[in-house]
Amino acid sequence: MGRLFGTDGVRGVANADLTAELALGLSVAAAHVLAEAGTFEGHRPTAVVGRDPRASGEFLEAAVVAGLASAGVDVLRVGVLPTPAVAYLTGVLGADIGVMLSASHNAMPDNGVKFFARGGHKLADELEDRIETVYEQHRTGEPWNRPTGGGVGRVTDYTEGFERYVAHLIGVLPNRLDGLKVVLDEAHGAAARVSPEAFARAGAEVVTIGAEPDGLNINDGCGSTHLDLLRAAVVEHGADLGIAHDGDADRCLAVDAAGEEVDGDQILAVLALAMREAGRLRRNTVVGTVMSNLGFKTAMEREGIELVQTAVGDRYVLESMKAEGYALGGEQSGHVIVLDHATTGDGTLTGLMLAARVAATGRTLAELAGVMRRLPQVLVNVRDVDKSRVDTSAEVAAAVAEAERELGSTGRVLLRKSGTEPLVRVMVEAADIEQARAVAGQLADVVKSALG
């Protein structure tokens, strides 16, 4: 069996890859593994379970709740809330485990199961591996040791989750948003109620789009992966800025008053300067990934802020932040982590903090984002090649060296193996988009011929 857990839980097409049986079995296995690890010692265990609005989340939530309760875990069902809200509530309620049902920015037919440990932190890899092993043992015939009578878990609807999370968001904002007009694109997702409520309470005039989830329309032509509707709405309403979330609202992208995109790197740059000014940017460092735009790196160097770069994936950003005590990190995709206030990327919090900076400075978002010049970035996926040889091919190495000589200090080249497909990603940045395209095309041709 291939590894069920990816970088962000277990995902697949709901009712095909991710079935009710799998969701139930994984939940029972998680309860047993955490009990083995001593997490439940000395008390009756509790879980927080939430979901995004996908239709499949309804039956998958029922399966997860049944699995946990059958293993003797009391369940607090919080309903439709963002992933970071479930993580926050897991921590603040002192729960032993959190479960979020969502496939984030994926299309509606997909869904996923993501587990949080006590405190609202992502489960350690070794615990995920153990859950998978235990699940497989019992799937193939070994019976579970099941509690009976009063030992079974009880299930309660925890209706205060929405209010507690919104109050938390407002409570950590450095200043109010009075005088700002903001358009919010909620991707017909998990933040459709939370985000407009939080922005309005913080003092902003709010216009919402993509805030009418029906279980089928999540991420459909809207949200952080489709910014055209937001661009148009910001210009139409004369708003100061627009904020876009994905389906589970752990991401945030923005557009300025002219409808121009402000990506995750630019948001990180704005927040890094704001946090340094407030004395909250620990070790004067921000964490990005190897895909962070060269313009971001240049801007941080110019501002005297250290940039630490990790492998691609918010899990690696978070690992670096926790290990070294950094306060701010994230990815170009808009997955921004403010570790003082959240244990995971929080799109609503990020949007609020970005808007707060606009309100506090009186400067436009375009002016603030102008701290960095985003260099054109071209990404080419070279398919059906032997990706294992990309780091050892002399022909590829020579082509990369030649490309780097051509670009000089005003650009860069990055070749990455896909983690899931037989392809190599060729990324080229340059001051000029045509040069970036030309260099990327040449490199892609060499990779194809050398590794095909």
Q: Is 248 annotated as a binding residue?
A: yes
Q: Is 27 annotated as a binding residue?
A: no
Burial label, 111 (beta-carbon count in 10 A; 0-12, 13-18, 19+): buried
Q: Is 240 annotated as a binding residue?
A: no
Q: Look up 104 and say whether it is catalytic.
A: yes
What is d(CA 377, CA 433) in angstroms, rounded to the nearest whole number?
7
* Adjacency order of strands within the sheet including 423-429: 377-383, 423-429, 412-417
Residues 6+ apart with CB under 8 A from 178: 203, 204, 359
> Cα–chain-centroid distance for residue 151?
36
Q: Which of 104, 292, 320, 333 is catalytic?
A: 104
Bridge-partner residues for 407, per DSSP? none
Q: How far is CA 241 from CA 10, 221, 262, 362, 428, in A?
A: 34, 20, 10, 13, 30
Residue 320, token pair as written in the block: 């670096």
Residue 125, token pair as written in the block: 């890899």
The tokens 């699995």 sit on which residue? 67
Burial label, 138 (beta-carbon count in 10 A; 0-12, 13-18, 19+): middle
Pairing mode, if any, of strands 241-244 and 155-157? unpaired
Q: Is 104 annotated as a binding residue?
A: yes
Q: How far is CA 288 from CA 85, 277, 293, 308, in A?
A: 23, 20, 9, 6
What is d(CA 144, CA 415) in angstroms, rounded to the nearest whole number?
46
| CB 111, CB 18: distance < 8 Å | yes
Q: Which residues are catalytic?
A: 104
Binding-site residue ranges for Mg(2+): 104, 246, 248, 250
Binding-site residue ranges: 104, 246, 248, 250
